[in-house]
Amino acid sequence: MEQQRTIGREVSRSGIGVHTGNRTSITFKPAPPGYGVRFQMKEFPREAPIEAVIENVVDILRGTTLGKNGVKVHTVEHVLAVLMGLGIDNLLVEVAGNEPPVGDGSALPFVEMIQSAGMELQDAPKNVFKPKEPIYVSEDGVDLVVLPADELSISFTISYSEPGIDTQFLSLPITDETFIKEIAPSRTFCPYHEVQELIVSGLIQGGSLDNAVVVNGDVILSKEGLRFEKEFVRHKILDLLGDLFLLGQPLRAHVVAIKSGHGSNIKLTRLLRKKAMQERAPAPRKATEGIAPGGMDIMRVLKIMPHRYPFLLVDKIIEFVPDKRVVGVKNVTINEPFFAGHFPGHPIMPGVLIVEAMAQVAGMIMLTKGENTGKVPYFMSINNVKFRKPVFPGDTLRLEAKVIRLRTTTCLLKTTAYVGESVSCEAELMCSLVDQDSR
Q: Where along the sequence are the contacts to Zn ion (CB under 5 A)? A: 188, 239
At position 77, the amino acid (one-letter code) is E
Rounded (5°) CA angle 227-228-233: 115
At position 289, the amino acid (one-letter code) is E
Widest pairwise Cα distance in the chain:
93
Q: Which residue is nearest to Zn ion (CB)?
A: 239
**Residue 242 or 363: which CB sits closer to Zn ion?**
242
CB of 156 to Zn ion, least distance (A): 13
CB of 138 to Zn ion, least distance (A): 23
At position 302, the amino acid (one-letter code) is L
**Residue 245 or 320: which CB sits closer to Zn ion?**
245
**Residue 78 or 414: which CB sits closer to Zn ion?**
78
346 is annotated as an active-site residue: no
Three-state secondary structure call for residue 70: coil
Three-state secondary structure call for residue 20: coil
- Cα distance between residue 144 and residue 222, in whole Å: 30
User: How many CB atoms within 10 Å of residue 201?
Assistant: 10
CB of 237 to Zn ion, least distance (A): 10
**Residue 127 or 168: which CB sits closer to Zn ion?**
168
Residue 243 has what DSSP assignment?
H
Three-state secondary structure call for residue 97: coil
CB of 63 to Zn ion, least distance (A): 7
342 is annotated as an active-site residue: yes
Active-site entry in 19, 235, 254, 262: 262
- Cα distance between residue 210 and residue 215, in whole Å: 14
Strand 189-191 to strand 213-216: parallel, antiparallel, or no bridges (unpaired)? parallel
**Residue 162 or 239: which CB sits closer to Zn ion?**
239
Q: Quote the crossing angle between the two packed helices 77-86 and 108-117, to the nearest 10°.
A: 50
CB of 188 to Zn ion, least distance (A): 5
Active site residues: 262, 342
